[in-house]
Structures are given as structure tokens and as C-alpha cells.
């Protein structure tokens, strides 16, 4: 079976300023009618090198409660490493189509890893203007190198280096997020499987779109992860839902964008908010992004931390295995 990729559609010469119907969103979803224009939202920006621990702690905790999203700067990951990560990812997506198809998700396969064009079952059968690649990068026992690009040859080494450098950033964030709830520094990460925590890399590739005002990249969603650590390229596209409207999130070179995902909302019993977000696409430019999803292993049970529960604060979420959470969410079943 031939699967048509968005990247193929975008290069068709007969598009002539239009896009296939499947990609035209319903009016109540279109960026044209739903985005607050001219306002670029400054989500909180946090300097992780700030020696004032209490200030960093308060900033992370407030941002996670009010927004569910923030950006971090001076995070310790060298800018050159981020550039290299972007370069090798871009080189993969610029390979001839048949070379990318080698990594395609097999038909009928239920896993998340591989090259593909669509993840969720979407509203009214509409599609997002985006292709993607997923592969796990940590822990070693869960890595399937068959889903990692062989080309460019440095892809593997750079992704391994990037993963190594993300680990201390992730640990620092989990420590702050834990303290922000009045828990011990290690408690949240422990609740997510500790050293078994799974790191899943995704690359989004949003080709130029003749009608960006009518289409969406990734449709509105919250991430299932505990947190997501995202590197974008310089093309505007990420939007968050705030006060009933969609806003563009400011691009800050070399910052990492942190999303609070569903599992942290659950563990914190709703204190931290899983951010509702989506992406738009650009008429001339290719947008790319590299979200790294930090998730509990499939068999770990996630529920509100016991210490945050009391008579006045009953659990707002069920406790269940992460794999069951994922199954329900992907199949749009009640949690």
C-alpha cells in the first residue's frame, strides 16, 4: 500500500495555491478564524543557571500551574549540539522519499516508532499538514535502532549525545517540579519509574503549505507524557490555548520549550496543568520541531501522589498503568 506523505503533496506542482480537502480544517478550527493575531505570547522564560534556587523553584512551579508550558534558557545544552540535532534531522527528511519509507511504520502495527504521517484519529477525518518520525532514545533496553535513520551517518551519534545532555536537564526539572509540590526532590521521578523513565524522540516535519490559514499542523491536544522537552526551528508555529483563545508562542533561539504533559497533571492531582497546544504551518518555509517525550514505562501505574491527597483534596484522576492510559487516549475512550 502506498501511503501519501504530506511532504509529497506539498511538492506537487498542480497544487496551484490550493490544498486537498482533507487538509482544510473546519471553520471553527482554522487558524484564520481562531488565532489572536498580532499578539505573540510570552510564556514564562526561566534561566536555569540562576543561582537563586527559591526563585527558579517558584518560577517553574507557577508556570506549571498557570500555563503548563515554559521555556528554559542557560540549560547547559551547547547551542552547537542543538544545531547538529536539527541538521541531521533535516537531512533525513530531505532524503528521497523511498529512503525514508524504509523506516515507515509497518501496516497494522500498533507501536509508535517509525516514520509516518498521522497519529491520532482526527476530527471529521481531517488531516494535519505534518509528517513525523518517532524513535526511543532511552533506556538502552527499549531502543530499536531499526527506526533510527542510517543516513546521515552521524544521525545516531548526535542523537545519543543530545539524549545524554538532556538527562541532567530532565532530572533538574523533575526535582524542581517535585519540590514545587512540597515533595522530596526525587519523588516525582520515582513515581514515573525512576531510572526506567522512557525518552521518546519525535521529529515533526511541516512542509510549506499553500493555504496556511486553512490548515493545521498538529491538531489541538495535550501530550500524554510526563513532560515534553521541545526544540523548534526558527519558523513560527506553536500555539497555546489561553483564556479561550489560541496564541502564538514566541520563538527564542536555543531555548528549550517545556510542556507539562498528562502524567504530571495526574501525579500532581491537577495542580500542574497539561498544556493544550497545536501548531500552524507556513506558506513558504518548512517548519520542524524535535519534541522529546519523557514517559513512564508502560507497566508503571500512575495516579495522584498519595501525599497530595486528603479529605479536602480527593483524587481527581484514576490510577492506572501508563499503557492503559495511552490505549484509552488513542482510542478516545474515557479514562
Among 181, 144, 154, smallest CA distance to 306 is for 181
Whether 116 contacts 108, CB under 8 Å: no
Under the rule (CB under 5 A), what is the footprint of Ni ion? 223
- The nearer residue to ligand OGA, 178 or 322, going by C-beta atoms, is 322
Q: Which of 29, 113, 179, 223 binds ligand OGA (CB under 6 A)?
A: 223
- Minimum CB–partner distance for residue 236 and ligand OGA (Å): 10
Cβ closest to Ni ion, residue 200 vs residue 305: 200
Per the DSSP assignment, residues forming a β-bridge with 35 are 246
Q: Which option in ligand OGA, Ni ion, none does residue 193 bind, with CB closer than 5 to 8 A by kind?
A: none
289 binds, among Ni ion, ligand OGA, none (CB under 5 to 8 A by kind): ligand OGA
Structural element, H or E, at residue 242: strand 238-242
Q: Is the peptide bond before 86 cis (omega within 30 degrees of 0)?
A: no
Query: Segment near ligand OGA (CB under 6 A), from 50-58, 121-129, 152-160, 230-238?
Result: 230-238
Q: Should residue 84 be labelled a site residue for ligand OGA when binding is judged by CB under 6 A?
A: no
CA count, 13 A, side-chain hemisphere, 80: 0
**Nearest one of 128, 286, 125 to 215, comparing CA atoms:** 128
- Residue among 232, 261, 296, 304 that touches ligand OGA (CB under 6 A): 232
- 3-class DSSP assignment, residue 45: strand
Report if residue 19 touches ligand OGA, rule: CB under 6 A: no
Minimum CB separation of residue 335 from ligand OGA in Å reads 19
- Which residues are 96's β-sheet partners? none
- Identify residues 100-129 at the interface with ligand OGA (CB under 6 A): none
Reading phi first (left if > 0) and then psi (alpha if -120 to 50, else beta), residue 244 is in: left
Q: Does 218 bind ligand OGA (CB under 6 A)?
A: yes
> Based on the number of CB atoms within 10 Å of its own CB, is 161 exposed (0-12), middle (13-18) or buried (19 or more)?
middle
133: contact with ligand OGA by CB under 6 A: no
Beta strand 301-302 pairing with 320-321: antiparallel
Nearer to Ni ion, 119 or 309 (CB): 119
| Residue 237 contacts ligand OGA per CB under 6 A | yes
How many Cβ atoms sit within 10 Å of the Cβ of residue 162? 20
d(CA 172, CA 215): 37
Examine residue 204 and tell whether it contacts ligand OGA (CB under 6 A). Answer: yes
Count the alpha carbons within 13 Å of 98 in the hemisphere toward its beta carbon: 0
Report the residue number, 75 or 277, with the smaller CB distance to ligand OGA. Answer: 277
Rounded to the nearest whole angstrom, what is the least distance from the CB of residue 228 to ligand OGA in the complex?
Answer: 7
Comparing CB distances to ligand OGA, the nearer of 256 and 302 is: 256
Applying CB under 6 A, the site for ligand OGA has a residue count of: 12
The footprint of ligand OGA on residues 277-296 (CB under 6 A) is 277, 279, 289, 291
C-alpha cell at 49: 543557571
d(CA 217, CA 248): 13
Strand 227-232 versus strand 301-302 pairing type: unpaired
Smallest distance from the beta carbon of 221 to Ni ion, in angstroms? 6
Q: 75 or 132, CB closer to ligand OGA?
A: 132
Q: Which is nearer to ligand OGA, 201 or 305 (CB)?
A: 201
Q: What is the set of active-site residues?
A: 202, 221, 223, 277
- Under 8 Å CB-to-CB from 303, ≥6 apart: which residues? 266, 267, 315, 317, 318, 319, 320
User: Applying CB under 6 A, which of residues 202, 242, 271, 273 lies at the interface with ligand OGA?
Assistant: 202
Summarize as ranges the residues that interact with ligand OGA (CB under 6 A): 202, 204, 218, 223, 230, 232, 237-238, 277, 279, 289, 291
Amino acid at each position: 500500500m502506498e501511503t501519501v506523505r504530506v511532504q509529497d503533496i506539498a511538492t506537487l506542482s498542480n497544487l496551484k495555491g490550493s490544498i486537498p480537502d482533507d487538509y482544510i480544517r473546519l471553520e471553527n478550527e482554522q487558524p484564520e478564524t481562531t488565532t489572536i493575531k498580532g499578539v505573540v505570547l510570552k510564556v514564562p522564560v526561566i534561566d536555569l543557571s540562576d543561582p537563586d534556587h527559591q526563585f527558579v523553584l517558584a518560577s517553574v512551579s507557577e508556570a506549571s500551574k498557570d500555563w503548563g508550558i515554559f521555556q528554559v534558557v542557560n540549560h547547559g545544552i551547547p547551542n552547537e549540539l542543538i544545531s547538529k540535532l536539527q541538521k541531521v534531522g533535516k537531512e533525513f527528511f530531505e532524503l528521497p522519499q523511498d529512503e525514508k519509507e524504509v523506516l515507515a511504520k509497518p501496516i497494522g502495527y500498533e507501536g509508535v516508532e517509525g516514520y509516518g504521517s498521522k497519529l491520532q484519529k482526527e476530527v471529521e477525518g481531517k488531516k494535519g499538514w505534518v509528517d513525523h518520525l518517532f524513535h526511543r532514545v532511552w533506556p538502552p533496553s527499549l531502543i530499536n535502532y531499526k527506526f533510527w535513520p542510517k543516513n546521515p551517518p552521524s544521525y545516531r551519534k548526535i542523537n545519543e549525545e543530545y539524549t545524554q545532555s538532556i538527562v541532567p536537564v530532565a532530572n533538574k526539572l523533575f526535582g524542581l517540579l517535585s519540590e514545587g509540590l512540597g515533595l522530596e526532590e526525587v519523588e516525582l521521578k520515582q513515581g514515573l519509574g525512576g531510572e526506567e523513565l522512557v525518552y521518546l524522540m519525535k521529529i515533526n516535519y511541516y512542509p510549506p503549505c499553500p493555504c496556511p490559514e486553512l490548515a493545521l499542523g498538529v491538531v489541538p491536544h495535550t501530550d500524554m507524557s510526563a513532560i515534553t522537552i521541545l526544540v523548534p526551528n526558527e519558523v513560527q508555529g506553536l500555539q497555546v490555548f489561553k483564556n479561550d483563545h489560541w496564541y502564538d508562542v514566541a520563538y527564542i533561539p536555543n531555548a528549550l520549550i517545556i510542556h507539562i504533559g498528562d502524567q504530571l497533571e495526574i501525579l500532581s492531582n491537577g495542580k500542574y496543568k497539561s498544556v493544550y497546544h497545536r501548531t500552524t504551518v507556513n506558506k513558504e518555509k518548512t517548519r520542524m520541531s524535535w519534541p522529546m517525550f519523557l514517559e513512564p514505562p508502560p507497566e508503571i501505574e500512575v495516579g495522584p501522589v498519595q501525599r497530595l491527597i486528603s479529605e479536602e483534596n480527593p483524587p481527581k484522576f484514576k490510577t492506572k498503568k501508563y499503557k492503559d492510559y495511552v490505549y484509552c487516549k488513542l482510542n478516545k475512550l474515557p479514562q
